[in-house]
Every structure is written in C-alpha cells, then in structure tokens.
Structure 1
C-alpha cells in the first residue's frame, strides 16, 4: 500500500520535520511529474515506514515552493530530520532514486 501524502503550505513543516522524507514538488499539468508519480508509489510500497513521501502541488502551495526556490518541476528534496540533504531536479528512473534514498536509510 502506497503512503504518498499530499501536503500544503499549512501542513508542510509539521509533516516533514522528522525522519527521512522525500518531497515531490509537482503540478498536474507537468508531464515528467506524472511520470515520477508511479515511481514514488513503488518506492513507498517497498520502503514502507522507512521513508515518508509527500507531494506539494506548486500551483496550490506557492509559499513552500518559494521557500525552497523551486524553479523547475518535478523537483525532489531529500530531507532528514528537517534538513535538506539532496535536491533532484527532473525525472529520474527508480534505480537512481533508490540509490539516493539508500544513502540516508
């Protein structure tokens, strides 16, 4: 079962402050964003509670997008204990995302 959650400007800080979190900045009109969504679902199913995956719709949540300087989507942030560890811009295959996440497990 996938544990990918939508978060908003209002809930972002609370939802991403603890543990390992993969943040997906996306928009419904973005083709590469739609390509990465099933990959994130797979990662969520495989890793379960080891990583929390949250999605931020950039159109609906401009404050969070601005705070992190999001200029292109999809942009993925790897956060650990409220600190951004890595930024991944653009679509990446699952194997590449698995390697990045594995560094922080």
Structure 2
C-alpha cells in the first residue's frame, strides 16, 4: 500500500510507529532514484503488509537521513513498529530487492 502522507522530519516517527513501512529516500534528478521507484512499485503487490512511502530528500526531510546514516540516495528504510529493521543504499535490481524484502520480512515474524 502506498501512503500519500507528506512526511517531514517532524512527523516521520509518528507516521511509521505502527506496522511495517518501506521508505524510499529519493532525490530529483538522481538516475538511480528514477530507476528504483518503478522497481519498488512492481514488487509492492507481492507485499501487502508493507506500507510504502516515497520521500524526496529536502531540508524538510534531511534529518531522517542523518538519523539512519543515509549518506547517499536512493536508499530504502524498512521499519517495523517505528524501529529500523533494515537499510539498503543505492539502486537495487528487482530480483535482488525482492530477495532482500523476503529475507527482512521473514526476520520480523
């Protein structure tokens, strides 16, 4: 499920406090970011338990990157009940991303 929530530094922890969330940190004009979003969108129907958020990194969201040690984009944060479960940086092909999600979700059970 894709959430249409305007995520900011101030409301991030409140948005992700319950459930499993995949947060894609992205940027305008980033080729890896442009390529990653459709890959993630292809996989989301397979993982209905995940709430997906697409966040463009700006001054209003940069604290999220600092909090989780994200030093490059694109990056994917997998959070469960507000706690970081996994992080991956850079573009990931669909097959690798699918395996990563399966593995991480199995660890949350």
The reply to whether residue 23 of structure 1 matches residue 16 of structure 2 is: no
Aligned counterpart, 1:92: 92
List aligned pairs for 1:1-105, cutoff 5 A.
3=2, 5=4, 7-48=7-48, 50-59=49-58, 60-103=60-103, 104-105=105-106
Which runs of 4 or more aligned residues in structure 1 lie more than 3 Å from their structure 2 counterparts after TM superposition? Answer: none
- TM-score, length basis structure 1: 0.83
Task: Let me know the Cα RMSD of the aligned residues.
Answer: 1.9
CA distance in 2, matches of 1:58, 1:47: 25
Q: How many residues align?
A: 103
CA distance in 1, matches of 2:99, 2:27: 25
SS at match of 1:7: coil
